Amino acid sequence: MKPSEFAEIKEKFEKEQLYWESLKPGMIIYEEFGRGGWDMEYYKHEIISINIDERTLTTKDYSRHGEIVELKSFSTIEELNKKGIFLQE
């Protein structure tokens, strides 16, 4: 591995680590679910706990009456807003 490749991988890891460290219990995040084509659904979750090493969240899924689930893939409201997606609470 070239030093430049290592530096790029290290930079990506450090950015991802900062992102995960910025997540806090009580934050609202959204699980995205596509049904094909352009139809996307967004399910509201509240972060209960964060496992940074495993990159998973334990959340309360409000679309399932508060069922506790684990998520690996999600978006924050800020990320959705940057994509032009504005959800109402």
Residues in the chain, how many?
89
**At residue 29, does pLDDT exceed 70?**
yes
Q: What is the pLDDT of residues 44-70, one digit of tens each?
A: 999 999 999 999 999 999 999 999 999
Which numeric CATH code is attached to 3-82?
Answer: 2.30.30.140
Instruction: State pTM to two decimals.
Output: 0.86
Per DSSP, 37 falls in state: T
> Parallel, antiparallel, or unpaired for β 56-61 and 67-71?
antiparallel
CB neighbourhood size of 61 (10 A): 16
Q: What pLDDT does 89 receive? A: 65
